Structure 1
């Protein structure tokens, strides 16, 4: 029982130690950053390249339904036709 507790504490310490710091993003040796986009004044930094765009992470619309009403009949809501066998 005591060894399990010590092993659990050691694993927890190892996990917590691994999530501490992150170094700045840099290109690998013999690699360059992407070219400057057309119309941009400067090349994007590593942080800007990693940040998701508005299209990738759109804002969420959490508007609640405030009024409910009966749906009218839909003339195109027909049952499927049976196929001849």
Structure 2
């Protein structure tokens, strides 16, 4: 079984690109770190900025796949008009 040369070149280049990742800590380049919000003494840490409060991501307390209650008679549930 012969593998075409372009396929080998592509595989080799992908392996080289995957092997050159940065191993150290990242530092911000270009823009300074965010400043402290008004009314606080220090700027929030990255972990604090990534945390969402309960209002932004509410917890689900009811299961929609559970038992459905009967809605009763609906006077506006009409069949589609006939043409």
TM-score normalised by structure 1 residue count: 0.46
**Relative contact order: is structure 1 or structure 2 higher (C-alpha 8 Å, sep ≥ 6)?**
1
TM-score normalised by structure 2 residue count: 0.47
